[in-house]
Structure 1
Amino acid sequence: MTTRSSGRCYGAGLLDHQQPLEVRRLRALEEFADPATHAALSGRGLQAGRRCLELGGGAGSIARWLARQCAPGEVVVTDLDTSLLPRDIPNLTVSSHDVVREDFPDASFDLVHARALLEHLPEREEVLAKLVRWTAPGGWVCVDGMTVVTPADGAHNACHRCLESLITLSAGSMRADARWATALPRLLAHTGLENVDVLCTPGLVGPGGNADRLLRLTLEQTGPAMTAQNLIRRQDLTDCARLLDQDAYIDLAFLIVSAWGRRPRA
């Protein structure tokens, strides 16, 4: 996903597609998050002929999947940087679009979906209202938010220090809220959607963890910024990598909050 908000680049430029590790990081995100997204979207009335909107399409895996599920219905996938999005699918339209500043016609989609997008936008609640407005009566809004998890029991190792630094970097330079996603069920209900529900998917790190590669690549990419801002020491990053290599180590680092609701029929 790429976006700009209030004149600032998504992720303070740290997560741009041009960053050397970003494509690999996005693929790791897909490996971790796609099963959760598939599960959340599969119950939302996907069938042939549906018109869907995928916001912040990133590397395009969900756009491809939606296009298969809804063919011959049209899927529109947006991003500011569309260079990684597929252009070989007849019923998939790629559009450069700023979700904060630009619009779609009201009630123009049967399903509107976004993943790992709104938590990066200071205007996240205003954008959420737009998603609802773009959804046709009887259609679904589904949002997958990524939450960074740190232990509540006082445990504190190098991995936890890195995660806490990532949260601080997100809130500062990146203008993101790494814990906002837990508010999604309440916020969706507040917009007037019905049948609001949620699916939570844990992201485990350590050997064999479903989010291990995502965390390693994220820390490798953002680590220099965290050390430059004195949020963490280089030794902590090294110790975290060694900890993640230990066969006996397993920990919870992320949580995908997949929340959805249905726009009432007129």
Structure 2
Amino acid sequence: MHSDELHRCLTDAYDTMTFDRLAETGVTTGWRCLDIGSGSGSVARWLAERVAPTGEVVATDIKPHHIPDGPCLTAVEHDVVTDPLPEAAFDLVVARLVLQHLPERLAVLGRLVRSLKPGGWLHIEEFDASYEPPLLTPDEESARLYTAFLDAKCAVMRAGGGDPHWARNAPAAMRAAGLVDIAPRPRIELRTAGSPGLRMQLNHTYHLRDELLAAGMTEAQLADVRALMRDPSFCAASSVVYSVHGRRPHAEEQADGLRPRPEDAR
């Protein structure tokens, strides 16, 4: 139940941004696309509509039951850390809110790059949770409580091998992996009672309850922070969402990159 609600929140909060950015890659009829960690499948379904009728979208997840097969869309059970990927096979690879959770993120990033055809695009979206402060709270104690909840959530991610701040490193990591035309775009939004972003935070208090308790929060604190996030007077800044894509160069571009520039000969 909590997983379904989390997928709804992510869809409501970020699909429009994701679709706008994916459209910038030129994805169109006939493209072959890979959506890693597809979740509810909303991104994969949008891609399938864009590549129809001759293209293909492969949507993968460890538990792909949320993703119904459809025209130009195939759901596959797949662990991106351990299961193989074909090389030079896709025009577009999407990894939304996946890599920062993985201790092996850089190795996985390299495999995603190798799965691209020359000229193909990799699109990554991740949160940088180093900035998401409360802006309006009933009192100072409520602000401290919300901040303690955010700190506990980051501790939970780190305990699992994730990095809640990795998003800011994604552009440089993509360049180091050999991509070109890298285009990062950060976004911050307002989280208010009932908004998708704050509903997602509220969902975390249930979905991650045991982990948050292990990180030092109490049941009473969880109940209080839930009440705070339902308070119409409360608002907070979101974490920074980094939406980044980059392109795998063609062989001739790589060769040009190895040639000395005239200024280097001076």
- TM-score normalised according to structure 1 size: 0.85
Match in the other structure for 1:251: 236
- State whether residues 156 and 215 of structure 2, in contact with CA within 8 Å, keep that contact through their aligned partners in structure 1: no
Question: How far off is 1:192 after superposition?
Answer: 1.6
Query: 1 CA distance for matches of 2:185 and 2:16?
Result: 11
Question: How far off is 1:230 after superposition?
Answer: 4.7
- State whether residues 114 and 142 of structure 1, in contact with CA within 8 Å, keep that contact through their aligned partners in structure 2: yes
Which amino acid counterpart does residue 186 of structure 1 have in structure 2? A
Query: 1 CA distance for matches of 2:71 and 2:240?
Result: 34
Largest Rg, 1 or 2:
2
- State whether residues 204 and 210 of structure 1, in contact with CA within 8 Å, keep that contact through their aligned partners in structure 2: no
Match in the other structure for 2:175: 189
Question: How far off is 1:28 after superposition?
Answer: 1.1
Map 1:94-105 → 2, pairs under 5 A: 94-105=75-86
Match in the other structure for 1:16: none
State which drifts further: 115-124 or 204-213: 204-213
Residues 222-253 of structure 1, C-alpha deviations (whole Å, 9 max, x = no match): 123312x1521223222222222332321113
Q: Which of residues 54, 57, 62 in structure 2 aligns to 1:75?
A: 57
- 5+ long unaligned stretches in structure 2: 252-266
Match in the other structure for 2:247: 262
Query: 2 CA distance for matches of 1:248 and 1:21?
Result: 25
CA RMSD of aligned residues (A): 1.9
Query: 1 CA distance for matches of 2:68 and 2:183?
Result: 31
Query: 2 CA distance for matches of 1:145 and 1:66?
Result: 19
Residues 47-76 of structure 1, C-alpha deviations (whole Å, 9 max, x = no match): 111110001111110010000011120011
Higher helix share: 2
Tell me the matched-pair count.
243
Relative distance call for 1:191 and 1:163 in structure 2 (3 A) is same
Question: How far off is 1:201 after superposition?
Answer: 2.4
Relative distance call for 1:230 and 1:101 in structure 2 (3 A) is closer
Query: 1 CA distance for matches of 2:206 and 2:173?
Result: 33
- TM-score normalised according to structure 2 size: 0.85
Between the aligned residues of both structures, percent identity stands at 32
Match in the other structure for 2:88: 107
Match in the other structure for 2:158: 171
Query: 2 CA distance for matches of 1:108 and 1:256?
Result: 28
Query: 2 CA distance for matches of 1:49 and 1:120?
Result: 32
